[in-house]
């Protein structure tokens, strides 16, 4: 690491006016305070309330889907999305190995088996060509269902994930899903405000999941949502995330084993205020991309990852791509020691002990990318 890299860290700290720049912080102002204060003053802080309904309506409008169901986190959203999409015990679910563990865990909660696929260098998400080649190698369609010839199990769904906000090739995946009787369920946890061919990510699948964790583009503290155009699925998702209680003025009747996955009103209040500011957040994120692009120009062996073709990204996390002349861990050590928080991408799922035995495709791109990717500070810069 040389003086150019030292200059790089100084300019970032100067930009943020901080000695240590975190990876991603929430951005709040008086709106959040106003809405949350209203919850406290009226006592409407818990599992029902006007902000929950409003947040669901605002989210549906923003993403262009018919319905949004708010839940307590993105993992719960994925769990229920997969369940109502029809994923059952002992079925397989295609997903990228390069993802946050929630994607794989959500399938596991249903007794289903994650089946790991490779990603594309262009999008950092599922590679449709490699997916189809893998299906042709191991799959067999019988009675309108896709079977894995090697395990005998039904493969029910495909869960693409839009890494750091960059959309995967959704139309190509839709075609593959139709051809091979797979259900498309999008893990859009990182891609609120990202579009593919002008249409919001999360609106291509039969159903999809969002996250509003503290580090995401907008936050409710903790929170998530399920998106779908299917009213019936939305109603069912709402029902089972709210203890499957049959509506009645006083009787406690529950018609199946439901979940208490509700998003409290006080968290939804935060979400409403945050969602109002999405246009500004995105604008600031894109300015930050331009800023970093200038900043890395003098550095050798590194590129800034840019949105792929047909994708308009929210640039949730800014991403450096290192070439072979740089060692990932050396760069990470240098940046973190010089006040610029930076992180590698997740350990691929198939490299985790608990998921090492799961079925998988060729994962050569995943293996290679894993050692090249570094995320750098991505908070939209506040107006001073």
Q: In the bound complex, what is the minimum distance in angstroms from residue 202's beta carbon to ligand PLP? A: 12
Footprint on residues 100-159 left by ligand PLP (CB under 6 A): 100, 102-103
Q: Which of 380, 46, 35 is nearest to 218 (CA)?
A: 380
Q: Which one, 180 or 281, has the nearer CB to ligand PLP?
A: 281
| Of residues 202 and 338, the one with the C-beta less far from ligand PLP | 202
Q: Is the dihedral of CA 270, 272, 275, 280 positive or negative?
A: negative
Query: Distance (Å, rounded) from C-alpha 236 to C-alpha 250?
Result: 21
How big is the CA angle at 114 (ends 259 and 362), to the nearest 5 degrees? 160
Q: Does 73 bind ligand PLP (CB under 6 A)?
A: yes
Going along 233-327, which residue ranges are E strands?
302-304, 311-312, 318-322
**Cβ proximity to ligand PLP, 21 vs 72, nearer residue:** 72
Alpha carbon of 223 to those of 60, 179, 180, 213, 333: distances in Å? Answer: 15, 34, 33, 6, 32
Tokens in use for 134? Answer: 């893998």
187: left (phi over 0), alpha (psi -120 to 50) or beta: beta
> In whole angstroms, how close is the CB of 5 to ligand PLP at the nearest point?
28
Contact mark string toward ligand PLP, 180..219, x via CB under 6 A = -------x-xx--------------------x-x------
Segment 302-341, which members bind ligand PLP (CB under 6 A)? none
Q: Is 75 an interacting residue with respect to ligand PLP (CB under 6 A)?
A: yes
Nearer to ligand PLP, 189 or 269 (CB): 189
Instruction: Please report how close the Cβ of residue 226 comes to ligand PLP at its closest, in angstroms.
Output: 12
- Identify whether the C-beta of residue 339 lies closer than 8 Å to the C-beta of residue 13: yes
Residue 263 CB, nearest approach to ligand PLP (Å):
11
Tokens of 248: 């009645």
User: Which of residues 96, 224, 264, 348 is near ligand PLP by CB under 6 A?
Assistant: 224
Task: Compute the distance between CA of residue 149 and CA of residue 138 in angstroms, rounded to an integer.
Answer: 6
Beta bridge partners of 311: 196
The answer to the question of residue 349 lying near ligand PLP (CB under 6 A) is: no
The catalytic residue among 130, 206, 216, 285 is 216
Position of tokens 């550095």?
299
- Pick the closer one to ligand PLP by CB: 49 or 224: 224
Site string for ligand PLP, 17-56 (x = CB under 6 A): ----------------------------------------
- Using the contact rule CB under 6 A, the part of the chain among 26-34, 97-105, 121-129, 131-139 near ligand PLP is 97-105
Please report how close the Cβ of residue 107 comes to ligand PLP at its closest, in angstroms. 12
- Closer residue to ligand PLP in complex, CB, 127/154: 127
Nearest to 21 by CA among 382, 383, 384: 382
Candidate ranges 40-48, 74-82, 229-237, 290-298; the one touching ligand PLP (CB under 6 A): 74-82
- Least Å distance between CB 211 and ligand PLP? 3
Cβ–Cβ < 8 Å for 116, 95: yes
Minimum Å distance from CB 116 to ligand PLP?
14
Q: Which is nearer to ligand PLP, 102 or 237 (CB)?
A: 102
Q: Which stretch binds ligand PLP (CB under 6 A): 56-64, 73-81, 138-146, 175-183?
A: 73-81
Whole-number minimum distance, CB 275 to ligand PLP, in Å?
Answer: 16
SS (H, E, C) 1-57: CCHHHHHHHHHHHHHHCCCCECCCCCCCCHHHHHHHHHHHHHCCCCCCCHHHHHHHH
Q: Report the C-alpha gap between 292 and 87 in whole angstroms.
A: 42
Total residues at interface with ligand PLP (CB under 6 A): 15
- Is 245 in the active site? no
CA distances, 59 to each of 36, 53, 65, 85, 227 (Å): 18, 10, 8, 20, 8
Binding region for ligand PLP (CB under 6 A): 73-75, 78, 99-100, 102-103, 161, 187, 189-190, 211, 213, 224
Residues with a known catalytic role: 216
């Amino acid at each position: 690491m040389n003086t150019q890299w030292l200059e790089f860290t100084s300019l970032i700290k100067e930009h943020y006016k901080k000695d240590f720049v975190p990876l991603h912080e929430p951005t709040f102002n008086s709106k959040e305070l106003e809405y949350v204060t209203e919850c406290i003053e009226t006592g409407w802080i818990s599992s029902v309330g006007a902000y929950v309904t409003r947040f669901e309506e605002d989210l549906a409008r923003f993403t262009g889907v018919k319905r949004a169901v708010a839940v307590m986190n993105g993992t719960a959203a994925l769990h229920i999305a997969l369940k109502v999409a029809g994923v059952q015990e002992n079925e397989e679910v295609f997903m990228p190995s390069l993802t946050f563990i929630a994607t794989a865990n959500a399938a596991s909660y249903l007794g289903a088996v994650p089946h790991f696929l490779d990603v594309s260098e262009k999008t950092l998400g599922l590679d449709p060509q490699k997916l189809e080649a893998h299906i042709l190698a191991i799959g067999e369609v019988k009675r309108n269902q896709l079977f894995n010839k090697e395990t005998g199990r039904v493969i029910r769904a495909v869960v693409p994930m839009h890494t750091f906000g960059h959309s995967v090739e959704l139309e190509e995946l839709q075609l593959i899903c139709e051809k091979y009787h797979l259900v498309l369920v999008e893990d859009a946890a990182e891609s609120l405000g990202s579009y593919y061919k002008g249409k919001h990510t999360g609106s291509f699948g039969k159903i999809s999941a969002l996250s509003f964790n503290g580090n995401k583009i907008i936050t409710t503290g903790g929170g998530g949502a399920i998106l779908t155009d299917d009213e019936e699925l939305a109603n069912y998702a709402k029902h089972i995330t709210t203890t499957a209680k049959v509506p009645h003025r006083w009787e406690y009747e529950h018609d199946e084993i439901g979940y208490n996955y509700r998003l409290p009103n006080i968290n939804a209040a935060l979400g409403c205020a945050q969602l109002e500011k999405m246009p500004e957040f995105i604008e600031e994120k894109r300015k930050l991309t331009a800023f970093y692009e200038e900043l890395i120009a003098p550095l050798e062996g590194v590129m800034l990852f840019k949105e792929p073709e047909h994708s308009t990204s929210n640039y949730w996390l800014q991403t450096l791509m290192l070439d072979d002349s740089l060692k990932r861990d050396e760069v990470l050590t240098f940046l973190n020691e010089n006040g610029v928080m930076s992180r590698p991408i997740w350990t691929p799922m198939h490299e985790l002990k608990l998921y090492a035995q799961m079925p998988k495709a060729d994962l050569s791109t995943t293996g290679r990318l894993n050692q090249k990717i570094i995320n750098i500070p991505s908070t939209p810069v506040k107006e001073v």
